[in-house]
Homo-oligomer: A and B are copies of this chain.
């Protein structure tokens, strides 16, 4: 039933309940125009027929949409997995469904994914851009569909939800300075990414305020992944004087660095201090647990969903930048500098 033969439609329910199609439609949408008795009659008929509402058909007719597209650069990064869970949670509460797309940090795939998404007529799009995204490309792909950019800014006039990157990195750096470090690296990420350059700026701000001059060798660029970071750990020690601590672009990179340090016999939290950025759950169970800038990815996801839904009602797509707060969470991966260099 429901599969073999024709699909059960509104007409079938009308026939079964002895009501008109219009009345059934009213019941389905919870209209107050129908009496309780009629409503009960119709709902009983719906149950008997095994009717399931066809929301796509309704959306087509009413020129509405009940889905929001979520396009993520890297779902394997727990930061984005948490973010996605937050988005989905809030969308579901509001009766929307999440259309998921992953780009794997590829601009070409991002283009294909966005094009595919808009053919399903989403009410809006939440985009965590792939590295190197251009505003023009994104604009071409999404047309006039409301878009919210998350995490990295791209040129264009879209509203954006970001974290307080500069403040966070400054807090991280100040924490290391307070512990006594003077040779502090900024590790990981690519400078083209806005989130990375903002975090770098916060780091520099704190360094300069303390009268410290970062050396070029203390800036190591990597793809924003654990694996790349693990491979690049050695670069920190290529020149003297080597740093005694690192502010990392994000937690994934920080965990990779910790791993890279271990394999070189350098104990994070004992011989070398590490601070991350994001607040992914994995940082709590790493050994040593990771000091980080907590950015509450799940809350960001909920906020992103709220924001995109808000623009729908009002039609207001003001290109505001919302900044989600961050705070320092101190765990064991930070230590004072060793008495002598290693």
Contact = CB atoms under 8 A, between A and B. Distances in A.
B54 A285 contact: no
A52 B2 contact: no
A269 B223 CA distance: 30
B144 A2 contact: yes
B67 A88 contact: no
A98 B72 CA distance: 13
Contacts of A102: 85, 88-89, 92
Contacts of A143: 1-3, 50, 52
A109 to B, nearest CB: 8
Contacts of A81: 75-76, 78, 81
Nearest to A332: B262
A287 to B, nearest CB: 3
Interface string A81-103: 11011001100100101111110
A118 interface: yes
A255 interface: yes
A6 to B, nearest CB: 10
A230 interface: yes
Interface string A43-87: 000000010111111011000001100100001101001101100
A282 B288 CA distance: 14
A50 B92 CA distance: 31
Given A78-B81, A88-B100, A92-B112, 12 more contacts: A54-B121, A56-B59, A56-B121, A60-B60, A67-B99, A75-B81, A76-B298, A78-B78, A85-B102, A99-B99, A259-B287, A262-B287
Closest 5 CB pairs of A and B: A3-B144, A287-B287, A81-B81, A100-B100, A55-B119
